Structure 1
Amino acid sequence: MIVLLGLTLLVALAAIGRDARILPLHGTCGAASVSLIGHGPPALAVLVLLPVLNGIGWILLGRHASWQSGDLRERRRIRQAATIATAAAILLTLLTALAATPGLPVLICIGLVLAGLCAAALPAPLLQLVGLLCMLNGLLLLGGYCQSWPLVLAALLVWLGLIALSSWLIPRLAWLRQEDPGNV
Structure 2
Amino acid sequence: MIVLLGLALLLSLAAIGRDARVLPFHGTCAAACVSGIGHGAPALMALALLPVLNGAGMIVLRRHVAWRAGDLRSRRQAQQEAGMAVCAAIALVLLTALAAAPGLPVLICIGIVLAGLCGAALSLPLLQLTGLLCALNGLLLLGGHEHNWFLVLGTALVWIGLLSLGGWLMPRLAWLRTEGDGDHG
For residues 50 and 66 of structure 2, what CA distance do their matches in structure 1 show? 23
CA contact (8 A) 2:20 2:65 kept: no
Cα distance, 1:154 vs structure 2: 1.1
Number of residue equivalences? 183
Which structure's residues are more often helix, by fraction?
2
User: Percent identity of the aligned residues?
Assistant: 69
> What letter corresponds to residue 23 of structure 1 in structure 2?
L
Cross-structure match for 2:45 = 45
Q: Which residue number corresponds to residue 111 of structure 2?
A: 111
Return the offset for 1:66: 5.0
In structure 2, distance between residues paired with 1:47 and 1:36: 10
Aligned amino acid, residue 48 of structure 2: V
Q: Is the partner of 1:131 in helix, strand or coil?
A: helix
Q: Give the structure 1 partner of residue 2 of structure 2.
A: 2
Asked if 2 retains the 8 angstrom alpha-carbon contact of 1:20 and 1:61, the reply is: yes
1:100 aligns with 2:97: no
Shift of 1:179: 2.3
Distance in 1 (CA, whole Å) between partners of 2:61 and 2:149 is 27
Query: Is the alpha carbon distance of 1:93 and 1:9 closer, same or farther for their aligned partners in structure 2, counting shifts above 3 Å?
Result: same
Q: What root-mean-square deviation, in Å, do the aligned CA atoms of Structure 1 and Structure 2 show?
A: 1.1
Normalization by structure 1: what TM-score? Answer: 0.97
For the residues of structure 2 that align with 1:100 and 1:156, how far apart are their CA atoms?
27
1:67-98 deviations in Å (ceiling 9; x for gaps): 20111111111100000000000010011011
**Is this contact kept in 2: 1:112–1:134, CA < 8 A?**
yes
Cα deviations by residue, 1:113-161 (Å, 9 ceiling, x for unpaired): 0000000000000000000000000000000000001111111111001
**Unmatched 5+ residue regions in structure 1?**
none
Matches of 1:97 and 1:125, distance apart in 2:
30
Q: Deviations over 1:159-178 (max 9, x none)?
A: 00111101110011111212
Q: In structure 1, give the amino acid aligned to 2:36.
A: L
Q: For residues 22 and 82 of structure 2, what CA distance do their matches in structure 1 show?
A: 14
Following the alignment from structure 1 to structure 2, what is the Cα–Cα distance between the partners of residues 170 and 96?
33
Aligned mates of 1:160, 1:59 — CA distance in 2: 13
Partner SS, residue 181 of structure 1: helix
Q: Which residue of 2 aligns with 1:173?
A: 173
Which portions of structure 1, spanning 4 or more consecutive aligned residues, are displaced by more than 6 angstroms?
none
Q: 1:130 to 1:149 in 2, by over 3 A?
A: same
User: TM-score under structure 2 normalisation?
Assistant: 0.97
Instruction: Note the residue ranges of structure 2 that are not aligned, 5 or more in a row.
Output: none
